[in-house]
């Protein structure tokens, strides 16, 4: 559910002239005022009669939309791209892309390659035409597919404008299939108990940002340049990590653990009287490489799963 720049909307040819993009800048936050019950995660009794679906052809293909189409405002589009820190080096996937406006904006303003996925062929047709008219068809690609089943593992940024229910269905795939460090930004709806790394208000709309964390749970061991052997046993829930530490087999204090994407920082103290030693490493599945260079003699190797 994207947003078309008003300045472009005035120039887009007949296909877009027939569409109505007249909406209040202070959009509903977002469908919550339409009777969607956030508690039971069910759409079976939800009344969407206030939404206008007149532009859909009743004789068209049988398509069941998980999310009613509501276009994004231009301000929201720019705020989402800023929050995700989208650059020309990114591959941006918009899941539920609608008419493609967020991908077109990223391509026009940031030279970003992007892929849009939507189950509605009418929206895909609009998106292709809009990209062609805007001159960015070489940067963006649109796919008619079910976003819950589509491939998006090569994304470096994912944008969403979906319901809580759909976000929760997507959450396991986002965590398992996206590379650590991938940014996920959602318009209006969160991810349940996966708390955002950053939350921002745009008008009365909430925007949420998550950084996909590396999987670090388990027991890891490495040697410091001092010759001491460090070992940590970590437990993880999303980006939040707790655990225990040992130095040469003797219990130590794990003062703090910070995880952001594929970077982990561990502060370990021998005891209450000593200063903490800080290790910063880049995480892979079975091995962590030091990035500070001075304190670590060997990579951290995973020696056990928790």
Q: Is the pLDDT of residue 27 over 80?
A: no
86-103 average pLDDT score? 97
Q: Which residue has the higher pLDDT, 32 or 18?
A: 32
Give domain 6-211's CATH number out of 3.30.530.20, 3.40.50.150, 3.30.70.920, 3.40.50.11310. Answer: 3.40.50.150
- Structure tokens belonging to residue 41: 């995660």
Q: Is the pLDDT of residue 86 over 80?
A: yes
123-144 average pLDDT score? 97
75-94 average pLDDT score? 97
pLDDT tens per residue, range 148-182: 999 999 999 999 999 999 999 999 999 999 999 99
pLDDT band, very low/low/confident/very high, at 42 (cuts 50, 70, 90): very low
- Structure tokens belonging to residue 71: 């276009």
Q: Is the pLDDT of residue 26 over 60?
A: no
What span, in angstroms and rounded, lies between the C-alpha atoms of 108 and 53? 30
Percent of the chain residues topping a pLDDT of 90:
73
pLDDT band, very low/low/confident/very high, at 73 (cuts 50, 70, 90): confident
Q: Which residue has the higher pLDDT, 35 or 146?
A: 146
* R_g (Cα) of the chain, nearest Å: 23
pLDDT tens per residue, range 256-279: 999 999 999 999 999 989 999 999
β-strand pairing of 140-144 with 113-118: parallel
DSSP state string for the chain: -----HHHHTTS-HHHHTS-----SS--SSSGGGT--TTTT--TT---TTS--TTS-TTS-----SS---PPPHHHHHHHHHHTT--TT-EEEEET-TT-HHHHHHHHHH--EEEEEES-HHHHHHHHHHHHHHT-TTTEEEEES-TTTS--TT-SEEEE---HHHHHHHHHHHHHHSPTT-EEEEES---TTS--SEEEEETTEEEEEEEPPP---EEEEEEBTTSPEEEEEEEEETTEEEEEEEETTEEEEEEEEEEETTEEEEEEESSTTSPPEEEEEEE-SSEEEESS-SSBSS-EEEEE--
Q: How many CB atoms lie within 10 A of CB 12?
A: 19
Q: Is the pLDDT of residue 67 over 70?
A: no
Q: Is the pLDDT of residue 89 over 90?
A: yes
**What is residue 292's predicted lDDT score, i.e. its pLDDT?**
80
**What is residue 71's predicted lDDT score, i.e. its pLDDT?**
63
**What is residue 127's predicted lDDT score, i.e. its pLDDT?**
97
61-90 average pLDDT score? 79
**What is residue 202's predicted lDDT score, i.e. its pLDDT?**
93
82-99 average pLDDT score? 97
Average pLDDT, the chain: 84
């Amino acid at each position: 559910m994207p947003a078309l720049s008003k300045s472009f909307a005035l120039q887009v040819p007949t296909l877009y002239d027939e569409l109505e993009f007249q909406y209040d800048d202070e959009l509903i936050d977002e469908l919550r005022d339409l009777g969607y019950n956030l508690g039971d995660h069910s759409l079976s009794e939800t009344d969407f009669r206030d939404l206008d679906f007149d532009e859909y052809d009743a004789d068209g293909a049988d398509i069941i939309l998980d999310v009613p189409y509501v276009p994004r405002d231009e301000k929201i589009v720019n705020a989402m791209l800023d929050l995700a820190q989208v650059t020309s080096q990114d591959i941006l996937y918009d899941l539920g892309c609608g008419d493609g406006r967020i991908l077109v904006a990223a391509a026009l303003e940031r030279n970003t390659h992007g892929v849009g996925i939507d189950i509605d062929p009418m929206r895909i047709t609009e998106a292709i035409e809009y990209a062609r008219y805007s001159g960015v068809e070489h940067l963006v690609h649109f796919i008619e597919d079910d976003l819950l089943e589509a491939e998006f593992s090569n994304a470096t940024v994912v944008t969403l404008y979906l319901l809580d229910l759909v976000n929760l269905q997507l959450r396991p795939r986002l965590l398992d299939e996206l590379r650590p460090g991938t940014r996920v930004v959602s318009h209006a709806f969160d991810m349940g108990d996966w708390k955002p790394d950053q939350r921002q208000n745009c008008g009365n709309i909430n925007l949420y940002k998550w950084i996909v964390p590396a999987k670090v749970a388990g027991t890891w061991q490495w040697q410091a340049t001092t010759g001491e052997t460090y070992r940590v046993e970590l437990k993880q829930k999303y980006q939040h990590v707790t655990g225990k530490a040992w130095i040469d087999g003797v219990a130590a204090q794990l003062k703090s653990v910070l995880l952001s994407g594929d970077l982990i920082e561990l502060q370990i103290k021998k005891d209450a009287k000593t200063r903490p030693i800080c290790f910063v490493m880049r995480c892979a599945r079975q091995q962590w490489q030091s990035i500070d260079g001075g304190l670590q003699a060997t990579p951290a190797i995973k020696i056990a799963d928790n």
